[in-house]
Every structure is written in C-alpha cells, then in structure tokens.
Amino acid sequence: MGKWTRRALITTGVVAGGGLAVGVFLRPGHRAPQLAELVAGEDEQLINVWVKVGADNRITAVVPHSEMGQGAQTALAQMLADEMGAGWNDVSFVEAPAEDAYANWAMGKGYILGDSKIPEALVPTVDGLFLQVGKAMRLQITGGSASVRTTGVYGMRVAGAAARETLTQAAADAWGVPAAEIVAENSELVHAAGKHRAKFAEFAEAAAAISPSRSPKLKNPADFKIMGTSVPRHDIPAKVDGTAPFAIDAQVDGMKYAAILAAPVFGAEVAQLNSAGAETQKGVHQVVNLGDAVAVVADGYWVASQALRQVEVEWTNTGSEAVNSEALYRQFDRDLQAARQSGDSDDDVRVGDVGAAFAGAGEQGGQVVEATYRVPFLAHACMEPMNATARVADGRCEVWVGTQNPLGFRHEVAEALELDTSAVTLHQHMMGGGFGRRANADVVIQAARIARQAGVPVKLIWSREEDVRHDHYRPAVASHFRAAVSADGKVTAWDNLYHEKHEPAEAPKIPYAVASQHIHYTDSPTHVPFGPWRSVDHSQHGFFTEAFFDEVAEAAGKDPYELRRALLADKPRHLKVLDTAAEKAGWGQPLGEGRGRGISLQESFGSLVAQVVDVTVANGRVKVDRVVCAVDAGFAVSPDGLTAQMESGIIYGLSAALYGDVQIKDGAVVQGNFHDYPVVRMNEAPLIETHIINSGEAWGGAGEPGTPGIAPALANAVYQATGTRVRQLPLSNYDFSYKIEEPEEVI
C-alpha cells in the first residue's frame, strides 16, 4: 500500500485551467491525476473525490450511487451543496465511474461504524482503510436504503463542508481578513465588512493548494438552506421529454440484437440443440449456446425473438423437475416442525424464560395464540426489461447497462471473460426500476459472452416472460408463531420460528416490550434462485409479525393500536410515529358495512414507518381506499423525495400483497407476464397521505421502509371487514364472497 503519511492521506492538489475539484481524500498516495482523467472536464481540475468546481463556477457533485427513479442523486447533491454554501441553480451531478478509485468507502463506514466517535487524528486512516475495504468488495452499490444515511452523511456532507473551508481560507488569504468573517453563500464567498465578494471559481487555484480537513465543521440543521427543502430534481426533465439515456436506448455501430431462452428448470443445461430452423431465417446472424441458455443474434429484436421459437432444445435433468409450490410449502412446514421438536435452530433473540411463560399462561387462565404465516416467491417486475449491450474485440470488452453496482459488474464481466479488469469499460445508464434485481450481473455477463461468440456488438433484451421466469426471487417463506397471553390481557411471551434467513439480521425482531422472546430460524433450501427484493427480509417479516400481532391483540381483548401503544411505552419515537398515523387516519371512528381499517408499525433501514389502511370488501373483491403513512427518517433531506419514496414503496408492497405469486410447477416458474403476474395499476391505486416527522435522530433511509408495513396493515384491515385472517399472501387467492377455510396447520 506504500508509505502512509498524514499529508498523503488527507489531500493532494492539482491546479490548471482555472477550475477546482474539491472533496475528501480517501487513501494514501497521490491519486489526483488519475481521478482527474476519470471525471474532470477541460475547465475542471480534480483534487479529491466528490465535488468539482469549474471555471464557469459550475459545481458538480460526483455521486457514487445509481439513479433508478428514487432521486438519490438529487438528495446527495443537496447535502453536498448545502454544506458547501452553493446555490442550487449552480449545482449538477454526475455518477461516479465504475473504477476502483470510486469504491464507496462512506457506505461501508456508515454501516459498520455509524455515529461512533473517532479521534480526529485517526479519521484519515479510518477512511483510508474503508476505501481499501470498499475496493476489495467492489462496493459501489445502490441498495439497502443507504445512499443518504451513509454516503450522504459520511461522504457528501463532509466533502461539501471541507470544500467550503478550503475556499474560504483561500479567500481569507487573498483578502487579508480572518476566515471566520467570510461566508459562503449562493456559490460565492462574501466578506461583508470589507465589501469583498467573489465566485467560488475565482479561488479555485489557491484552494487547490490547501489540504482539506477530514473533520470539517458541519452545519446545524437550523442553518440548512437546501437540505430539508424540495428542490427541482435535475433528472426529471429528461425523463419527461424522453431524452434520458436508459440502457435499452444504447446504440453502438454495427450492433445486432439478441433474444434469449434459458433452461426452464433452474440449474439445467443444454443437452441437445437443433438450431437449423432458426439459422435459415432471414436476418439471423447466429445461434449461441451459452450452456444454460440459448440466444439468437439477429438484425432486429423481433427477428431474433421469432427465430428463437424455431430453436429446438432438450435440457438436462436436475432432479428438481417434479418440484411444485405445494410440495415446497409442505417441505417448509416439515422443516419447521423438525426444528421445533429437536430444538435445532439458530437464535435471533432469546430473552426471558419463554417456556415458563407459556406454561404459566395455561395454568393461570391465560391462552396461547398460535399461527403459521406464509408468503410466496416474488419477482421484481421492473418496467424496463432486463437488457445490456456489449462489444468484445481486440482483447477488450465494453458494456452499456443500467446497474445498481457498476464497479461490481465491471469486475464480474472481467472474470466471466477472463480479462483483466482494466480491459473492461462499463457505461452506466439510468434504470427503469431496480428493486434489487439490477444488483445481479447475469444479464450483462450473458450479453458479453454472446457478443464475444458473435463477433459483433450485441444488445441483449430479455422478453417479459424471460424476466419473470428467470428472476432472482424474493424467497417463499413460512413462519410459525406462538404467543402467551395472560388472563388479564398481558402479552407474556413471543415465540417465532421461521426459515430462510437473509438480510438485514434484525428484520424478524419486534419493537414491543414482551418480557420473554424467542425468535429463531432454521434452513429449508430450494432450487429457486434468491435475490434481494425491495426491503429484503423486512418484506416477509413485516407481514408476519405485524399481522400476527393483531391476532394477539384480539386474544388479549385489546384494540390493536392501543396494545401497540402499551408495549411501546418506553419508545417515544415509535409512539410518535404510531400516534401520528392513527390520528391522521381517524383511528377509532366507525366504518360502514364491509369496510375495515388496519394498522402496522415497522422499523427498517434506520427509519420508522406506521401505516393505516382503509379497505372496502364487496362482491368478493378487496378495494384499498386509503393509506395513511407516518414516517420518521430522522431528517427529510428532500421532503418531496421522501414522500415519493413512501408512495412508491406502498404501491410496490401493495402489488405483492394483492397479486404477487410466483408459482413453481414441474420445477419451473409458471407465471410469465403481467396477465398472470399483475401489479397495481393507476386506477387501483389508493389515496396515499404521507406525514413526515423530523425527530432529529440519526438519519434513516427512504427507498425501502415504505414497503414492509403495507401488507400487514392491509391484512389487518381485511380481517376487520370480513372476519377472515389473511395468513398467506396474496389476497387474490382468497374469495371473500364467503367464509374461507384457513390453511391447515401443520405445526
């Protein structure tokens, strides 16, 4: 790693062309020249990482996160600009290139250290270490609702404040006045007493020679001018007028198109291939055998997709050809039952004496509430189909793709083609939806392999059927609950055994003050590929725990909202969110026949979200009338953006709760398009009201926390309307025109 010096760790400078790039130096050595080549324009110079100041006084934030509709790039630019003292109209942003030098150290630091206090002298070393970790992990990912709460807090705010300090110091030296008397505002430096005023760009050269602090003084929220306001998003106009460059729009000279068909059963390979019928079709360039899939390369996508129908393929057997959804659910129940009987499970939470609490409930006139909840496999259903364009020639590979992890994809393509990473160039694009799906590099690797075999640039586009049937799915999960309720209505024990443990680890935990808890899990593997799905494990456990909590409340003879309040007495922040949603929704007000109201509370990704759902059930159909959402993300950097993300997460979760159901038959996925894997359409979308609470606590995420609470609040509302407990999603599998039988309990 070379010799580490304090100066090398903190800063380096390059001055030329009247421009300045300022940021926070993250690693030992002098890397400014290399980074300048990556991101600096002709009238800009790069000193460090996150922000450039051009000769025209244009401030550009270099953002290490992807844009897939969530507005993170805007929020991060707001954080940098506010701390810097820039005017929003002077600010733009670019996405960081897929280079090791732009590995996202701040994300790792935020996840691991959070708000831990680090001695100022050690901050450069700590940040340098996290950069090395980020490079080793190829960390440039957008996910986990982490953009604002990690990169923003530990990267962008610090970079903006450090830039403000170096520019201020440069002006102070030139004007011969104390730096403390100079104010940075609206992209200018102002010394009112001396009547001095200058644009940032005028002090670019001098500021470049000043080592920026690794621990600059950050603004107090009361002094924010851009953070906390709903500024215009710079990405919206291009999306509206159609000029926004999505990956599916990429055009490369000499490009052909490819359609693909993967083995229907996951893990199967091509056993025999007859491509003669396809190869004789006009416009077909080549049929490519990828081993686990077959692709047709042609002059156009329609030609390729039609020719693909003429390809005859026999696939190898994997041993999963007889697997179906019903068998998998039976497997889950058997494995849960075996784990409970044997005691062979891993603990998330074990507090108190659960056994004694259950025994006491039975002996003292209390009761034990027991239920099993289930959710199916879910696809991501991004509006933009999976696609990537690749060119492989002369020992190099160039790809055009929209990805949630550009740096990681670049390395994965290099490994798949057995190239050095330096031989791979990745052009990043906006995405028409991600939700975790575009964190998997399968499509871009396929495109690169096809292009290499075809000898021409190739744009690979998955059909919608391919997209649904070869996703990386949110897993199907079963979760068994028991709760002990005393004769006087107190919840004395909570026992939850489930399978399929992923991330985040805290997802199955409950916020309620139940003295005895045992939350544990076992394994029940399937052949269906797993992938992160919006809010990951919170999406299952949010439904499980909050829907079962309403069952417990009924057994205790308590209003579900009031019981939540009673068990959150020592958590005022949770209470505030819960009370806000209940109050704004009119909790307790009577509803008419066939109507119901349900509530939920979720803590995820550093944010608290309470939701109240109103439904009408008529003619066997559930209509969601209104959703009231209260959210505390610590501080709303962009209130409009936070509101939009709550709405987006609610609609996404509502689609899953009402319709989402990927079924397995003969080892393969049954569903293939929106006719049998529907999503909520505009005419079905409920009225959504979002109420933001700025508690001043640690800043949380926004992209995912709106999703976990909608399914349980909906299920609880349906119970109030119909008397039917929804313990298995989706609701479309129920017929509410009559009293349905619940799934048979195995445990």
Question: Helix (H, G, I), strand (E, B), or coil: what is residue 603?
Answer: strand
User: Which of 38-42, 344-348, 557-561, 715-719 bottoms out in mean pLDDT, i.e. has the lowest?
Assistant: 38-42
Mean pLDDT of the chain: 92
In 3D, which of 9, 11, 4, 14 has the Cα closest to residue 27?
9
CA distance 219 to 82: 9
In 3D, which of 596, 589, 578 has the Cα closest to residue 691?
578
Q: What is the mean pLDDT of residues 457-466?
A: 98
CA distance 134 to 740: 52
List, in sequence order, every beta strand (DSSP E) within 57-202: 59-63, 91-95, 183-185, 188-191, 196-199
The band of 365, judged by pLDDT with boundaries at 50, 70 and 90, is confident
* pLDDT at residue 191, as a whole number: 96
Residues written for the chain: 747
Please return the burial class of 331, using the count of CB atoms within 10 Å of its CB with bins 0-12, 13-18 and 19+.
middle
Peptide bond connecting 504 to the previous residue in cis, omega within 30 degrees of 0: yes
Positive or negative torsion for Cα 496, 502, 505, 510: negative
Q: What does the pLDDT look like over 414-430, one tens digit per residue? A: 999 999 999 999 999 99
561 contact partners, CB below 8 Å, separation of at least 6: 578, 582, 587, 588, 599
307 contact partners, CB below 8 Å, separation of at least 6: 259, 278, 281, 283, 284, 287, 296, 298
In 3D, which of 176, 171, 134, 178 has the Cα closest to residue 155?
134
User: Which of 23-32, 95-104, 717-726 bottoms out in mean pLDDT, i.e. has the lowest?
Assistant: 23-32
Q: Is the pLDDT of residue 628 over 80?
A: yes
| Element spanning 330, H or E | helix 325-342
Q: What does the pLDDT look like over 594-606, one tens digit per residue? A: 999 999 999 999 9
Query: Which domains occur in the chain, in start order?
Result: 6-241 (3.30.365.10), 247-317+386-461 (3.30.365.10), 345-377+473-733 (3.30.365.10)
* pLDDT at residue 13, as a whole number: 29
CA distance 674 to 196: 63
Q: What does the pLDDT look like over 259-284, one tens digit per residue? A: 999 999 999 999 999 999 999 999 99
Helical packing angle, 639-658 and 710-722, nearest 10°: 50
Positive or negative torsion for Cα 74, 77, 82, 83: positive
* pLDDT at residue 10, as a whole number: 30
* pLDDT at residue 15, as a whole number: 29
532 contact partners, CB below 8 Å, separation of at least 6: 143, 436, 439, 502, 503
CA distance 592 to 190: 63
CA distance 747 to 744: 9
CA distance 656 to 443: 24
* pLDDT at residue 45, as a whole number: 67
Percent helix / strand / coil, the chain, rounded to 5? 35, 25, 40
Q: What does the pLDDT look like over 689-703, one tens digit per residue? A: 999 999 999 999 999
User: Which of 29-33, 72-76, 177-181, 533-537 bottoms out in mean pLDDT, i.e. has the lowest?
Assistant: 29-33
Q: Is the pLDDT of residue 330 over 90?
A: yes
The band of 303, judged by pLDDT with boundaries at 50, 70 and 90, is very high
CA distance 500 to 478: 9
Residue pair 165/200 in contact (Cβ under 8 Å)? The answer is no
Q: What is the mean pLDDT of residues 117-140?
A: 85
CA distance 278 to 283: 10
Q: How many helices (H) and strands (E) does the chain have?
A: 20, 27
User: In Å, how far from its chain's centre is CA 362?
Assistant: 44
Q: Is the pLDDT of residue 19 over 60?
A: no
Say what percent of the chain tops pLDDT 90: 84
Q: What does the pLDDT look like over 368-381, one tens digit per residue? A: 999 999 999 999 99
Single-letter amino acid, residue 305: S
Residue scoring higher pLDDT (196 or 1): 196
Positive or negative torsion for Cα 110, 114, 120, 123: negative
Q: Is the pLDDT of residue 624 over 70?
A: yes
Hey, how many other C-beta atoms are within 10 angstroms of the C-beta on 674?
13
* pLDDT at residue 121, as a whole number: 78
CA distance 311 to 129: 52
Q: What does the pLDDT look like over 558-586, one tens digit per residue? A: 999 999 999 999 999 999 999 999 999 99
325 contact partners, CB below 8 Å, separation of at least 6: 376, 476, 663, 664, 665
| Angle, CA 307 vertex, CA 305 and CA 312 arms, to 5° | 110
* pLDDT at residue 127, as a whole number: 83
Q: What does the pLDDT look like over 196-207, one tens digit per residue? A: 999 999 998 788
* pLDDT at residue 745, as a whole number: 52
Q: What does the pLDDT look like over 662-679, one tens digit per residue? A: 999 999 999 999 999 999
Tell me the CA distances in angstroms from 504 to 247, 532, 533, 734, one per residue in order.
Answer: 30, 11, 12, 31
* pLDDT at residue 1, as a whole number: 24
Overall pTM surpassing 0.85 (yes/no): yes
| Angle, CA 412 vertex, CA 409 and CA 418 arms, to 5° | 140
* pLDDT at residue 33, as a whole number: 38
Question: Helix (H, G, I), strand (E, B), or coil: what is residue 619?
Answer: coil
Q: Is the pLDDT of residue 22 over 70?
A: no
Q: What is the DSSP string of 465-533?
A: HHHHHT--BBPPEEEEEEEEE-TTS-EEEEEEEEE---S-TTTT---S--SEEEEEEE----SSPB---
